[in-house]
Structure 1
Amino acid sequence: MLHFPIWKRVLIWALVALGVALALPNLFYNRVETHNDAAAGLESGAPETPELRADLAQWPGWLPSSLVSLGLDLRGGAHLLAEVQVEDVYAARMDALWPEVRDALRDVRDTVGTIRRQDGPPDELRVRLSRPEGMSAALEEVRALAQPVVSLTGVGTTDLEVSSQGDTLIVRLTEAEARATDDRTIQQSLEIIRRRVDEVGTREPTIQRQGTDRILIQVPGIGSAGELKALIGTTAQLTFHPVLGRAGSAEANPGPGNIVLPSLDEEGVFYRLEKTPVVTGEDLVDAQPAFDQNGRPAVNFRFNPHGARKFGDYTAENIGSPFAIVLDEEVISAPVIQSHIPGGSGIITGNFTVEESTELAILLRAGALPAELTFLEERTIGPELGQDSIEAGRIACLVAFAGVLIFMALSYGLFGLFADLALIFNVALIFGLLSAIGATLTLPGIAGIVLTIGMAVDANVLIFERIREELKTARGPARAIELGYEKAFSAILDANITTLIAAVILFAMGSGPVRGFSVTLGLGILTSVFTAIYVTRLIVILWFERRRPRTVTV
C-alpha cells in the first residue's frame, strides 16, 4: 500500500534539487551575468585585474551559472535587413555553363569554326563563332543543353533561352528559370544564415523573407549589429581555379574568361586565373580545424563524390601546374600540384590563428552564401525597450500563479497545498531546463509559461477527483490514494501527449516567436507530468506515512 522504493524517492528529490539549482542563478541575474562575463574574459586571455576578480566573485564558481537568455523583445539585440544580390547567382550560373557550351560546340567545330567567349552582361553567356554561317547548328546544339524548369510556376518551360546576334551566340536564363533561381537563392540564404547564427538551435532568431529579395534578421543577446554582420556577412565561398600566371596589379587585363585576384598573404601579389572554377565549395561535405605538418593552424576539407572526382581528375591531368585556392575572391595559396590527389580531401594552409581556422571551418561547414548580402538597415535594440514587456509578463505570471494556488487550496484543502508545492517545483524545473539548454526566453515564451501554469494542475485535478471517487467505495484511505494515481495515469498521459505533439509540430514548422512558445510549452508539459505523477505522490506518501490518518478528506 503506497509503497515507493527508496531509490525512486532519492531519484525524484535529486531531480527536483537539480532543477532548483539550475534555476537559482536566474534569481540573481545581474550578478551571475557579471560573473559569466568575467569568466569569459579570463578564458579569452584578458589580464586578471582587481576589477575582473571582483566581478568573478559576484557568484560562487561551484554553483551552476547558466542563465535563461532573454529575447530581442525582452532584452534587446541586433536587427538587420539584408538584400540578396541575386544577380551574382546568374553570373555564376553562366560561368558554370560555359564548359558545357564549349564541349557541345566542339562537336560541330567543322561547321561553326573556332569559338571564343566574349565579355558581356553578368546574366549572359556570349560566344563568338568564326563561321557565322554555322549559327543554326550551334543554336541547335546549345538548345539541347536546356533542362525543364523545376518549379510549380515553370511547368512546361526550359531553363535556357538561346539566341544569336550576328556572329555571336547568346545564352541567358528564361524568365521562369530566373524566378525559380531567385526563390532557391533566397531559401538557401535563409537556411545558411540560420545555421550560422543559430548553430545549436536555442538562440531563437527571427530570420524570414521580406518581399522578393530581402531577408529580415533579428538576433537577441548580440551586443551590436556590427557583431551580427561579422557573423553572417562573410560568404565563405571556396573555389579552386587553374593559375595562368601572375599579374602586375589588380587593374591588369586578364583576358576574356579570366580574372585577376589578390593574394591573401603576399601584399602586392596578384594572380591571373581562369574565371570558371574546377570545383567549388558547394561540393564540400566537411571542414575541420587542424594543424599542418609544421604545426601551424590549417583547415582540413573533404568533397562529396562528385567534387572528389572532378578534383582528382584535374590534379591527375595537371601535375606540375599551380592551382589556386580562393576564398572570397582572395587567393589563400597557389601550390603546385605534385601528384594525383584522389579521395577528394585536402588541407587549406595560410597565416591563420587558431580562432581564424576554427571560424573558417564553421563557415565552410555551414555552406557558402549563394550571393552577396547588402545590408540596407541595421539597428542595435537596447534593453530598455523591452522593459514594458518584462513587467507585463511578470505581472501575468504572478497573477496566474496566485490564482492557481488559491483555487487549488480552496478546492482540495491539504491536498491542494501539496499540488501548490509541486507547482512551485514545476516552475523551477522549467527555468532549470531552459537554463541548461541555453534557450532564449521571449514574450511568446512567457505566454507558454503562463499557459503551463494553468495546465499544470490539470493532472492533479484528475488525480484528486479520482481519489474522491475511490474514497466513496470504503476501500480505506491508503488504497483510495493508490488507486487514484493508478487509474488517472492513462488519462493524464493521453491528454499531455496530444498537447506535446502540438508543441513539437509548432517547433518543427514554426520559427522565431512560434518556436519560443513551443519550447516553453513542451518543457512545461514534461515537468507538469513529472511533478503531478511523482512529486505530488511522493509528498502525499511522506505525509501519510507520518500521520497515518484513518480518514482522508479531499
Structure 2
Amino acid sequence: MIFIPLWQRLLVALATVAAILLALPNMFYGRVEVANDARASIAQGLTSPELEADAGLWPSWLPSGLINLGLDLRGGAHLLAEVQVSDVYASRMDSLWPVIRDALAADRDTVGFVTREDGPPSELHVRISKPEGAARALEIVRGLARPVASLSGGGSSDIEVRAQNDLLIVNLSEAERAATDDRTVQQALEIVRRRIDEVGTREPTILRQGADRILVQVPGVGSAQEVKDIIGTTAQLTFQPVVQRTSNKDADPGAGNILVPSVDEPGVYYILDRAAVVTGEDLTDAQPTFDQNGRPAVSFRFDPQGARAFGEYTGAHIGEPFAIVLDNEVISAPVIQSAIPGGSGIITGQFTPEESTDLAVLLRAGALPAELTFLEERTIGPELGADSIQAGKNAAYAAAVMVVLFMIASYGVFGAIACVALAINIVMIFASLSLLGATLTLPGIAGIVLTMGQAVDANVLIYERMREELRRGASPVKAVQEGFDKAFSAILDANVTTFIIAAIMFFVGTGTVRGFAVTLAMGVVTTMITGVYVSRVLIALWFARTRPKTIVV
C-alpha cells in the first residue's frame, strides 16, 4: 500500500475542484461576459429589466473570472504613437516669460523696459531697453536657473542664457531637454492609460517603446479610430487674460500674445496673453453637470495652488473678461463679476450631454503634455481573432492526442494516469489565468501546448526510474515510491531552469513574447503540482482499488 498522508490527499482534491470551478466560466465565455458587464452596470447605480436578465445569465455563487483574450484572439486596435517632445520646450518658454519679466522689472533702473520678441518656439527672446544693463540682466536670469531634476543631469542647470547686445536668448540646457523628454513620455504614457481606463476597456496593453514612442493595443474595440478618438484629443484647458476682442482673423496679436478663435461666436477672435493664469494641470476633478438654465456644462475644481492663483487673479481683475480656452479655442469669455476664492467653477458652452461627459473624462485624465503622431495603426477584426482561436485549439487538440497515444502506448495504465494528471494540469493553467486576470495571446496558447510535453516529461522520468527499480527486483509499492523520490530532483531542476527562462522572457521581452512567457511560467508551476503530487495520489488510489501483485511500466 502506498502511504500518502490524508492532508496531502485532501489538498490535492481541493486544489483540483477549485481549479475546475475557476476555469469553468471560460467554457461559457460569452454568457459570463454579458453577466459580468450587467453586474458592473448595476453596481454603478444603473438598473433595468434587461440588465437584471443579463446579470442572471450566470449564477452569482459560481466564480465569474474570465481569461482576458489578447488582441490576436479577440480582435481590436493596434497603435504606435510618437510623442512630439519638442512641443514641451515651447510651453516651458511660455511659462518662463512671466517669471523672467517680473525679475527683470524689479531692476528696471539698470535694465530698462522689458519686452518679449518673436523667436523659435524652443527659445525665449527678451529685449531690454538699456543695452548697457545686459550683464546685469544675464546675472538676474541665470539666478533663476534650477538644478536639473534627474540622476543623469546632476550638477547641471535647467536653462542656458546668452546675450546679443540688448537681446537675451533663453533656452533649455541639453541635460534639461533629456530629462524633459523622459518626463514627457512617461506623463503621456500615464495619461493615455488613464483615458483608456476611464472608458472601461478590458486589459489594454500600453507600453513605452524606445525613447519617444508608445505602443497601444486595445482588444475588443471596433476600429483603431475609436482608440485614436479617446487618446488623440489633447483636452488642453487654460484660463487666460483677454487683451482684446476682434473680428479680424489676421490681426497681429503682438509680442507675448496669441490670436484664438471663439467657438460660440463665429467670426470672433480673441487676443489673449500667452501666459495662462491656471491650466488643466491644476485641476483635481471635473464632472458633467448642468448650468442654471439647464444646459449641459462641466464643473471643475482646482488644487490648492491653482485655487490660490485663480482666486488672486479674479479678485484683482473684477470687471475684465477672462477666457476659458480648450484646445486653442475660446469656449467662453465671461466678465469677472467678483473674486472666486473657492477654486471651483463651471464651464458652459454649446455642449450636448455626451460632449460634456467626454470633456469631463478628458479633463480628469489630464491634458497630454505633447502631441501624439500615430506612426502605425491596425484594426484586427473579430473574425481574424476567431480564426486564431480555432487554429490554437486545433494545435492543442493535435498535441493532446499525440501525447495521450504516446503515453498509453509506452506505459499502459500508468500512461493513462499521466494523461489524467495532464488534463488537470491544463485546467489549473486556465484557472490561474482566470484568477490573476492575465491576458491570453496566440503565443500564450503555444506556451500551453509546450507545457503538455513538459508535463508528461515529468511522468516519463518517474516511470523510467520505476522500471529501473523493478529490474532490480523491487516490489511494486517500493518501485513506485523510489520512482517518485529519485526522479524528484531531476524534475525540480528541469522546471526551475525553464521558469528562469520564462521570467527572463517576461521582464526583457514585450508583447507576444511576454504572453508566451506567462503561460510557460504558469505551466512550470502546475507541472510540479500535477506531475509529482497529483500523479502520486492517482496511482495510490489505483493501487488501493486494484491491489496488483505485479505492475508493468
Q: What is the TM-score normalised by the length of structure 2?
A: 0.74
Are residues 437 and 472 of structure 1, via their aligned partners in 2, closer, same or farther at CA, if it must alter by over 3 Å? Answer: same
Equivalent position of 1:12 in the other structure: 15
- Mean Cα deviation higher: 74-83 or 15-24: 74-83
Aligned-residue offset at 1:127: 1.8
Q: Distance in 2 between matches of 1:360 and 1:489?
A: 60
Within 5 Å, which residues of 2 pair with 1:527-546? Answer: 527-546=526-545
Q: Distance in 1 between matches of 2:525 and 2:309?
A: 55
In the alignment, does 2:153 pair up with 1:132?
A: no
Are residues 514 and 282 of structure 1, via their aligned partners in 2, closer, same or farther at CA, if it must alter by over 3 Å? Answer: farther
Equivalent position of 1:99 in the other structure: 98
Are residues 443 and 13 of structure 1, via their aligned partners in 2, closer, same or farther at CA, if it must alter by over 3 Å? Answer: closer
Equivalent position of 1:189 in the other structure: 188
Q: Distance in 2 between matches of 1:360 and 1:195?
A: 14
Q: Distance in 1 between matches of 2:392 and 2:422?
A: 18
- Mean Cα deviation higher: 158-167 or 247-256: 247-256
SS, match of residue 371 in structure 1:
coil
Q: Distance in 2 between matches of 1:301 and 1:397?
A: 55
In the alignment, does 2:420 pair up with 1:424?
A: no
2:5 pairs, out of 3, 16, 21, with: 3
Mapped contact 2:82–2:374 kept (Cα < 8 A): yes
SS, match of residue 169 in structure 2:
strand
Equivalent position of 1:405 in the other structure: 404
In the alignment, does 2:413 pair up with 1:414?
A: yes
Q: Distance in 2 between matches of 1:336 and 1:508?
A: 57
Aligned-residue offset at 1:152: 9.6
Mapped contact 1:204–1:513 kept (Cα < 8 A): no
Mapped contact 1:83–1:214 kept (Cα < 8 A): yes
Amino acid across the alignment from 2:205 = P
- Mean Cα deviation higher: 5-14 or 345-354: 345-354
SS, match of residue 506 in structure 2:
helix
Are residues 450 and 168 of structure 1, via their aligned partners in 2, closer, same or farther at CA, if it must alter by over 3 Å? Answer: same
In the alignment, does 2:20 pair up with 1:24?
A: no
In the alignment, does 2:238 pair up with 1:235?
A: no
Percent identity of the aligned residues? 53
Over residues 279-305 of structure 1, what are the superposed CA-to-partner deviations in whole Å (9 max), with x where a residue is unaligned?
545566x658697999999677674xx
SS, match of residue 115 in structure 2:
strand
In the alignment, does 2:116 pair up with 1:117?
A: yes
Mapped contact 1:235–1:368 kept (Cα < 8 A): yes
In the alignment, does 2:308 pair up with 1:312?
A: yes
Over residues 92-123 of structure 1, what are the superposed CA-to-partner deviations in whole Å (9 max), with x where a residue is unaligned?
01012223322432353221112122344322
Aligned-residue offset at 1:371: 0.8
Mapped contact 1:204–1:516 kept (Cα < 8 A): no
Amino acid across the alignment from 1:15 = A
Within 5 Å, which residues of 2 pair with 1:282-297? Answer: 282=281, 287=285
Q: Distance in 2 between matches of 1:378 and 1:118?
A: 40
Mapped contact 1:204–1:512 kept (Cα < 8 A): no
Q: Distance in 2 between matches of 1:219 and 1:442?
A: 13
Aligned-residue offset at 1:532: 3.0
In the alignment, does 2:92 pair up with 1:90?
A: no
Are residues 36 and 272 of structure 1, via their aligned partners in 2, closer, same or farther at CA, if it must alter by over 3 Å? Answer: farther
Q: Distance in 1 between matches of 2:517 and 2:212?
A: 29
Q: Distance in 2 between matches of 1:356 and 1:162?
A: 44
Are residues 92 and 495 of structure 1, via their aligned partners in 2, closer, same or farther at CA, if it must alter by over 3 Å? Answer: same
Within 5 Å, which residues of 2 pair with 1:494-509? Answer: 496-497=495-496, 499-509=498-508
Aligned-residue offset at 1:500: 3.8
Q: Distance in 1 between matches of 2:256 and 2:31?
A: 58
SS, match of residue 127 in structure 2:
strand
Equivalent position of 2:453 in the other structure: 454
- Gaps of at least 5 residues in structure 2 are none
Q: Distance in 1 between matches of 2:488 and 2:237?
A: 57
Over residues 402-451 of structure 1, what are the superposed CA-to-partner deviations in whole Å (9 max), with x where a residue is unaligned?
33323333443322211211212322333344456554433322322222
Are residues 401 and 283 of structure 1, via their aligned partners in 2, closer, same or farther at CA, if it must alter by over 3 Å? Answer: farther
Q: Distance in 2 between matches of 1:225 and 1:122?
A: 32
Q: Distance in 1 between matches of 2:338 and 2:447?
A: 59
- Gaps of at least 5 residues in structure 1 are none
Amino acid across the alignment from 2:420 = L
Aligned-residue offset at 1:310: 5.9
- Mean Cα deviation higher: 246-255 or 500-509: 246-255
Amino acid across the alignment from 1:4 = L
Mapped contact 1:246–1:269 kept (Cα < 8 A): no
SS, match of residue 121 in structure 1:
coil
SS, match of residue 457 in structure 1:
helix
Q: Distance in 2 between matches of 1:485 and 1:264?
A: 77
Over residues 71-97 of structure 1, what are the superposed CA-to-partner deviations in whole Å (9 max), with x where a residue is unaligned?
444554324454433342121010122
Q: Distance in 2 between matches of 1:518 and 1:265?
A: 54
Aligned-residue offset at 1:168: 3.1
Are residues 174 and 33 of structure 1, via their aligned partners in 2, closer, same or farther at CA, if it must alter by over 3 Å? Answer: same
Q: Distance in 1 between matches of 2:541 and 2:147?
A: 72
SS, match of residue 77 in structure 2:
strand
Mapped contact 1:288–1:358 kept (Cα < 8 A): no
Equivalent position of 2:521 in the other structure: 522
Aligned-residue offset at 1:547: 2.7
Q: Distance in 1 between matches of 2:337 and 2:124?
A: 31
Are residues 483 and 71 of structure 1, via their aligned partners in 2, closer, same or farther at CA, if it must alter by over 3 Å? Answer: same
**Root mean square deviation of aligned Cα:** 5.2
Q: Distance in 2 between matches of 1:524 and 1:299?
A: 51
Over residues 175-226 of structure 1, what are the superposed CA-to-partner deviations in whole Å (9 max), with x where a residue is unaligned?
665566445544543454355447899746375547x766554444321121
Over residues 300-336 of structure 1, what are the superposed CA-to-partner deviations in whole Å (9 max), with x where a residue is unaligned?
7674xxxx34643663575475776655445677787
Aligned-residue offset at 1:250: 8.8
Q: Distance in 2 between matches of 1:476 and 1:442?
A: 47
Over residues 504-530 of structure 1, what are the superposed CA-to-partner deviations in whole Å (9 max), with x where a residue is unaligned?
443344321122122222332333334
Amino acid across the alignment from 2:14 = L
SS, match of residue 78 in structure 1:
strand
SS, match of residue 222 in structure 2:
coil
Amino acid across the alignment from 1:312 = R
- Mean Cα deviation higher: 401-410 or 466-475: 466-475
Q: Distance in 1 between matches of 2:159 and 2:481?
A: 74
Mapped contact 2:241–2:276 kept (Cα < 8 A): no
Aligned-residue offset at 1:453: 1.9
Mapped contact 1:22–1:431 kept (Cα < 8 A): no
Are residues 427 and 164 of structure 1, via their aligned partners in 2, closer, same or farther at CA, if it must alter by over 3 Å? Answer: same
Are residues 41 and 139 of structure 1, via their aligned partners in 2, closer, same or farther at CA, if it must alter by over 3 Å? Answer: closer
Q: Distance in 2 between matches of 1:256 and 1:515?
A: 52
Are residues 180 and 2 of structure 1, via their aligned partners in 2, closer, same or farther at CA, if it must alter by over 3 Å? Answer: closer
Equivalent position of 1:205 in the other structure: 205
